[in-house]
Structure 1
Amino acid sequence: MAKVKYYYDAETLSYRKIKRKKRTTFKYATVFLLAAALFGFLSFAIASNYIESPKERQLARELQNMQLQYELLNKRMDDAIAALENVEERDNAIYRLYFEANPIPEEQRRAGFGGINRYKKFEGFDNSQLISESNKRLDILEKAIVVQSKSLDEIAKLAADKEKFLEAIPAIQPVNNVDLTRMASGYGYRTDPFTKIRKFHFGMDFTAPRGTPIYATGNGIVKRADNSSTGYGKHIRIDHGFGYMSLYAHLYKYNVKVNQRVKRGDLIGFVGSTGRSEAPHLHYEVFKDGERINPINFYYGNLSPQEFDILLKKASLENQSLD
C-alpha cells in the first residue's frame, strides 16, 4: 500500500495530503522506464564483450582448429622442402655432374610468380597473412617439384644415352689374347714392310693364325664388308654411333653383312692376309668424328691392368708393321 504524504499548510496551521497529478506520475514512470531500458542495453553491450554465445564459441573453436591445421600444413611443407632440397643437391652435385649436364640455378628452382597478386582473395580476413603465406609456400613447393621432376626426366634420358654410349664405343680387344701369336705393331710411326720407309701407322696389328675369330668391339651397324678399299683387302667397318667407327682389315672371310646390327663380342669375321699384308694378321683402327685415333685407349673392357700394361709397352715400340 502506497504511503500517504502530507505537507504543513501555514495558512490553516494544519497538515494536508499531498495530491500527485497524473501527468507528473506518468512523467516519473516514463523516466524510470527509459532509465531502466538504457541501463539494460548498456549492461548487455558490456556483457556481450565478455560472455560468448554458443555460436561464438563454435566459431572460435573452428578458428583455432584452422590455425592448427595451417601450422601442421606448414610443418609438413618444411619436411617436404627439406627432402626436396636433398634430392636437388644430389641432382646438381652428383647426377647432373656425372652426366655432364649444367646444374639448375637456385633462382630457377625457387622462382616465385610475377604479375597479378595471386593471393588477393585471402585478404581482409582474420589470419589472412598466415593463409596467404601458406598458399604461397605451397605454390613455390609445387613449382620446385615440377622443375625437379623435369630434371629427373632429363637425367633418365642422359642415363639411357650414357648406357647406349658405353655399350657402343669400341671397348674390347678384337682378338682374344689366347688366339694371339703376338701384338705386332702399334699406332704411330713404323717401318713399312714393303718400302722400308718410316711412315705413320694408323692402327694396331694383331698377329694370329689364319681363321682366328675376330669380334666386334662395340655395339653398332655394319656399314661396309668388302674389299674395295685400297690396301685393306677384305675388311669390315662398324658404325658405333656417337661419332665412333671401327675398322677390321685383311680378313680371310666375313661373318656379317652390310646393315647388320651387331653387339660387342659378336663374331664378325676371321683373320687373313688379304690386301696389302705381309702375313696373316688383323689390322684394327678406331675413328672418332672421321679422324683416326689410337685404339690403345679402348681396351679397358676385357683386359686386366697387367695385360693392358704389357700391351701398352709392346704398342709403343717403333718396329716394322705388317701392312
Structure 2
Amino acid sequence: MAKVKYYYDPRTLSYRKIERTWNDRIRSTGAFLLSAIVLAGILFFVSDNLFDSPKERRLKRELAAMELELNLMENRLEDLNSVVTELEDRDNNIWRVVFEAEPIPNEVRHSGFGGANRYEHLEGLTYTDLLKQNAMTLDELTKRVVVQSRSFDEVIALAKNREELLSAIPAIQPVSNTDLKRIASGFGYRIHPIYKVRKLHAGLDFSAEIGTPIYATGDGTVTVARTRNGSGYGRYVQINHGFGYETLYGHMSRVSVRRGQKVKRGDVIGYVGNSGRSTAPHLHYEVIRNGSKINPINFFYNDLTPEEYDRLIEISSQSNQSFD
C-alpha cells in the first residue's frame, strides 16, 4: 500500500492530503528511470576502463607468461647457437684435419630455407617479430645440427679406418737411401734432359744401379703393371692406396707385380732400370692426391729422423736437370 503524504495549509491551519495526478506519477517514474540509466552507464564506463574482468586478468597473465617464455627461449637458442658454432669450429679445424678430410664450407653449414612465406602463419600474432625470429633461429640450428651429425658420422668412419689410412699413406722412400745421396732431381721446374727447356718435373728422381729393388711406399692395389718398354715412363707400376692416394714408379728394368695384386708397404714391386724416356738408370717416383701430382718429399717421415728429413728437403730443392 502506497504511503499517503500530507502538507500543512496555513490558511486553514490544517493538514491536507497531497493528491498526485497521473502526469506527476509519469514524470517521477521517468526521472527515476533516466537517473538509473545514467548511473548504470557511468558505472559500466568506469568498470570497463579502470577495472579488468576476471577473464581479462587471466588473459593478461597468460600473455605475460608467454612473453617471458619466448624471451627465455630466445636466450636458450643463443646458447645453443654458441655450442653448435664451437662444435663446427672444432670439427673443421681439429677432427677433420686429423683425418685429412676436407672442411665443410660455411655455405653448406648455413644454407638457407626455401620459400619467402615460410613464416607467414606467424603474421598478425601478439608477438609476431619474436616468434618469427625464434622460428628462424630454430630452423637454422636444426639444419646445422643435421650437417654436423653427418660430419660426425664421416669422422667416426675415418677414425675406425685410421689404421688402414696410416698403412695406405705413402710414407717411406721407394729405394734404399740411407746416405740420402740418391735423390738426383726434385719436384718442380727443372731443365728437361732432352728438350733443354724448363719443364715441370712432377716427381722425384732416385739415381741407382740397374737392378736396385723398388719398394711400395704404402699398402694398396696395383692398377698398372706395364712390363713392356715404351716411351714415357717405360716399364712402370702404379698403385692405388685408397683415401685419394696413388703412387707411380717409372723407368723400371723389371716389374715384379701384376695388375690387381694387393701389396704392403715395403714389398718389392720391381727393379730400377733405364726404360722409356730416360737418360740414365734411375727411378722416377710420383705421389698423386685426388688426381693432382704433389711433392713426394712431404711423405718421407716414417724412415727418417728430423735432421735427415731436413737434409733431404734441402737436396731435393736444388735446381738441376732431371733424368726424364
TM-score, with length taken from structure 2: 0.62
Aligned to 1:134: 131
Aligned to 2:301: 300
2:263 pairs with 1:258: no
The one of 173, 184, 187 equivalent to 2:185 is: 187
Distance 1:207 1:150 in 2: 54
2:58 pairs with 1:58: yes
Q: Which amino acid aligns with 1:134?
A: L
Deviation, 1:28, is: 0.8
Aligned to 1:67: 67
Distance 1:76 1:297 in 2: 47
Deviation, 1:171, is: 3.1
Distance 1:80 1:88 in 2: 12
Distance 1:185 1:14 in 2: 151
- Note closer, same or farther for the CA distance 1:115–1:226 as it changes in structure 2 (3 Å cut): closer
Distance 1:187 1:16 in 2: 146
Deviation, 1:26, is: 3.5
Structure 2 residues without counterparts, runs of 5 or longer: 194-198
Aligned to 2:19: 19
Distance 1:240 1:54 in 2: 77
Counterparts of 1:304-319 in structure 2 under 5 Å?
304-311=305-312
Distance 1:14 1:236 in 2: 148
2:143 pairs with 1:143: no
Q: Is the 8 A contact 2:238 2:248 kept in 1?
A: yes
The one of 4, 13, 25 equivalent to 2:6 is: 4
2:81 pairs with 1:81: yes
* Paired residue secondary structure (2:106): coil
- Note closer, same or farther for the CA distance 1:261–1:226 as it changes in structure 2 (3 Å cut): same
Deviation, 1:109, is: 3.9
- Note closer, same or farther for the CA distance 1:44–1:269 as it changes in structure 2 (3 Å cut): closer
Q: Is the 8 A contact 2:169 2:245 kept in 1?
A: no
Q: Is the 8 A contact 2:249 2:285 kept in 1?
A: yes
Q: Is the 8 A contact 2:184 2:207 kept in 1?
A: yes
Q: Is the 8 A contact 1:220 1:238 kept in 2?
A: yes
Distance 1:271 1:84 in 2: 54
Sequence identity (%): 29
Deviations 1:19-62 (A, max 9, x none): 22243124313321331243134224313433333323322221
* Paired residue secondary structure (2:221): strand
Q: Which amino acid aligns with 1:186?
A: A
Counterparts of 1:23-172 in structure 2 under 5 Å?
23-87=23-87, 104=106, 109=110, 115-116=116-117, 118-119=119-120, 121-123=122-124, 125=125, 128=126, 130-143=127-140, 145-146=142-143, 149-150=146-147, 153=150, 170-172=170-172
Aligned to 2:286: 286
* Paired residue secondary structure (1:186): strand
Distance 2:93 2:292 in 1: 34
Aligned to 1:195: none
Q: Is the 8 A contact 2:252 2:273 kept in 1?
A: yes
* Paired residue secondary structure (2:283): strand
- Note closer, same or farther for the CA distance 1:227–1:55 as it changes in structure 2 (3 Å cut): closer
* Paired residue secondary structure (1:66): helix
Deviation, 1:4, is: 0.9
Deviations 1:212-244 (A, max 9, x none): 864311344313445412599975333457585
Q: Is the 8 A contact 2:230 2:275 kept in 1?
A: yes
* Paired residue secondary structure (2:268): strand
Distance 1:293 1:53 in 2: 80
Distance 2:19 2:314 in 1: 144
Distance 1:294 1:116 in 2: 52
- Note closer, same or farther for the CA distance 1:222–1:152 as it changes in structure 2 (3 Å cut): same
Of 87-96 and 220-229, the range deviating more from structure 2: 87-96
Distance 1:32 1:85 in 2: 76
Q: Which amino acid aligns with 1:29?
A: T
Structure 1 residues without counterparts, runs of 5 or longer: 193-199
- Note closer, same or farther for the CA distance 1:14–1:91 as it changes in structure 2 (3 Å cut): same
- Note closer, same or farther for the CA distance 1:167–1:144 as it changes in structure 2 (3 Å cut): farther
2:212 pairs with 1:215: no
Distance 1:259 1:226 in 2: 12
Q: Which amino acid aligns with 1:260?
A: Q
* Paired residue secondary structure (2:133): helix
